[in-house]
């Protein structure tokens, strides 16, 4: 919640927390990018952060004293003013950003441990909080870190997911600090400031997008899935982010890179996608379900590989949860958009799906058409709304289809979702 009592003409105040990791040097670029966008930056450098970058660097960039401890940097500074400084900072800032956020600082935040200035500031402030984690891939994937992140997200903390690549420890995988551009974009979105390119007409919206297929395991090497590439959902997420929305992308396995600035949540199975979507549903204002979720799964799977015996193999399958219908039952004032991949004329099926699942808009397409749909960069869809309204689009690139879908949102919002 943004603190009250500050006028719109005053520059927004951002506290930039820098914790101890090899990517701490990138925080200097983050500070510079924030300033170039007209924000005032107060840097808080943890004791471990000072092992990687010196306070003088940030003081020179920001023109402000860098806060390095709860009681000042020496006995001469250990006075009442420095002891309560965290309260003054907590009340003055519009946003707290931590980049890089180590596993240690995430654990402190999650469990309310206030043993340094930065952790105490997190507890004392009512401003929005953004964390950009960076750490070893094994630390990132450890259940303790995942649980801490889930706890922070449930409190409204925005997480800028790390990138995958070669890490300083010599390993390859997720854990590398997101780009300064992606981090700053998230800050600008949450502060409700301009996004550069894009119309900005979705500022204030939190758009939850699902994309890609799911995989339902049969044995150690086989699974049930479908042909979805995820391209349509990723295009929607990228377009929503550019138009000013805070965007959350829950994605099944794809070969695509998440769009910069989007909160990326990877999942594999339908059950995992359901859990991720429902966990983030309370903070969303728009849900766009572009994922091709598997309709069936094996109720049990083999721990090893099923061997060829020369005999046939019979699979017994059970239905997966209908995530879209479940959201429809509890959507409240949210706008809910579904996709319908059909063969033949999709409009009638889409209209029935819209009514059955309490949707506001269905994006319907005939997946049997050559050169569009699955695996293609193009799509040919019909936008089916309530009261029998529909709009057929020509064959377009998927990023153009994404824009057309998002163009419907302001109208749905202003007309009470017809």
CATH code, 339: 3.40.50.10300
Tell me the average pLDDT across 76-102: 74
Mark whether 42 and 118 lie in a shared domain.
yes
The reported pLDDT for the residue numbered 234 is: 95
Residues 6+ apart with CB under 8 A from 179: 163, 260
Mode of pairing for the β-strands spanning 361-366 and 335-342: parallel
Tell me the average pLDDT across 41-66: 94
Burial annotation 29-47 (CB, 10 A radius, 16+ → b, else e): bbbebbbebebbbbbbbbe
Q: Is the pLDDT of residue 26 over 90?
A: yes
Question: Which DSSP state fits 213?
Answer: B
Tell me the average pLDDT across 240-267: 90
Burial annotation 386-415 (CB, 10 A radius, 16+ → b, else e): beeeeeebeebebbbbbbbbbebbeebbee
Mark whether 277 and 407 lie in a shared domain.
yes
Model confidence band, residue 252 (pLDDT cutoffs 50, 70, 90): very high
Domain of 332 in residue numbering reads as 206-414
- Give per-residue pLDDT as tens, 321-366: 999 999 999 989 999 999 988 776 778 888 889 999 999 999 998 7
Report the Cα–Cα distance between both ends of the chain, in Å, rounded.
Answer: 31
Poorest-pLDDT segment among 239-243, 264-268, 367-371: 367-371
Tell me the average pLDDT across 258-284: 92
198 inside domain:
no
**pTM: predicted TM-score of the whole model, two decimal places:** 0.59
Mark whether 65 and 99 lie in a shared domain.
yes
Mark whether 158 and 24 lie in a shared domain.
yes
Mark whether 87 and 217 lie in a shared domain.
no
Tell me the average pLDDT across 92-115: 95
Tell me the average pLDDT across 203-225: 93
Residue 23 tokens read as 């990517």
Rounded CA separation 38/107 (Å): 32
Model confidence band, residue 168 (pLDDT cutoffs 50, 70, 90): low
- Specify the number of domains making up the chain: 2
For 80-145, the DSSP string reads: HHHHTHHHHHHHH-SEEEEEEE-HHHHHHHHHT---SHHHHHHHH--S-EEEEE---HHHHHSHHH
More confident residue, 193 or 160: 160
Rounded CA separation 362/337 (Å): 6
406 inside domain:
yes
Contact 16, 97 (CB under 8 A): yes
Residue % of the chain over a pLDDT of 90: 54
Average pLDDT, the chain: 85
Domain end, chosen from 139, 161, 191, is at: 191
CA 142 to chain centre: 19
Q: Is the pLDDT of residue 293 over 70?
A: yes
Model confidence band, residue 380 (pLDDT cutoffs 50, 70, 90): confident
Q: Which residues are catalytic?
A: 169
Contact 137, 174 (CB under 8 A): yes
Rounded CA separation 407/286 (Å): 13
The reported pLDDT for the residue numbered 80 is: 39
Mark whether 216 and 326 lie in a shared domain.
yes
More confident residue, 411 or 151: 151
Residue 268 tokens read as 């594999």
Mark whether 154 and 210 lie in a shared domain.
no
Domain end, chosen from 191, 223, 246, is at: 191
Residue 361's closest CA among 279, 301, 291, 290? 290
Model confidence band, residue 371 (pLDDT cutoffs 50, 70, 90): low
Rounded CA separation 132/191 (Å): 16
Question: Which DSSP state fits 147?
Answer: H
Domain end, chosen from 167, 191, 215, is at: 191
């Amino acid at each position: 919640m943004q603190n009250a009592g500050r006028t719109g003409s005053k520059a927004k105040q951002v506290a930039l927390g820098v914790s101890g990791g090899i990517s701490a040097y990138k925080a200097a670029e983050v500070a510079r990018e924030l300033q170039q966008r007209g924000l005032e930056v107060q840097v808080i450098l943890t004791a471990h952060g000072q092992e990687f970058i010196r306070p003088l660097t940030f003081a020179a960039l920001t023109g402000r004293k860098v806060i390095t401890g709860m009681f000042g940097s020496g006995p001469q500074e250990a006075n009442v003013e420095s002891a309560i400084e965290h309260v003054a900072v907590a009340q003055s800032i519009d946003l707290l950003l931590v980049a890089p956020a180590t596993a240690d600082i995430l654990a402190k935040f999650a469990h309310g441990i206030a043993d340094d200035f930065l952790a105490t500031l997190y507890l004392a402030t009512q401003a929005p909080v953004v964390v950009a984690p960076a750490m070893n891939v094994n630390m990132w994937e450890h259940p303790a870190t995942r649980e801490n992140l889930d706890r922070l997200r449930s409190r409204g903390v925005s997480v800028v997911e790390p990138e995958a690549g070669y890490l300083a420890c010599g390993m390859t995988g997720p854990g590398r600090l997101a780009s300064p551009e992606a981090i700053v974009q998230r800050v600008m979105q949450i502060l409700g400031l301009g996004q550069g390119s894009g119309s900005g007409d979705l500022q204030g919206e939190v758009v939850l997008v699902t994309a890609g297929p799911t995989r339902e395991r049969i044995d150690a090497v086989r699974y049930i899935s479908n042909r979805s590439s995820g391209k349509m959902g990723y295009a929607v997420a990228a377009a929503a982010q550019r138009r000013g929305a805070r965007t959350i992308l829950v994605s099944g396995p794809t070969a695509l890179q998440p769009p910069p600035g989007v909160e990326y949540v990877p999942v594999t199975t339908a059950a995992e996608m359901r859990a991720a979507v429902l966990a983030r549903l309370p903070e969303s204002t728009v849900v766009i379900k572009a994922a091709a979720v598997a309709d069936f799964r094996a109720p049990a799977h083999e721990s090893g590989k099923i061997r060829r015996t020369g005999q046939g193999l019979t699979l017994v399958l059970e239905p997966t949860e209908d995530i879209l219908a479940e959201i429809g039952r509890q959507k409240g004032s949210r706008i809910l958009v579904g996709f319908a991949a059909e063969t033949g004329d999709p409009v009638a099926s889409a209209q029935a799906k819209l009514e059955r699942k309490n949707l506001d808009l269905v994006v319907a397409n005939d997946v049997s058409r050559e050169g569009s749909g699955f695996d293609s960069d193009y799509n040919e869809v019909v936008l089916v709304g309530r009261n029998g309204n529909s709009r057929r689009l020509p064959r377009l690139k998927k990023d153009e289809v994404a824009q057309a879908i998002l163009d419907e949102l302001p109208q749905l919002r202003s007309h009470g979702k017809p």
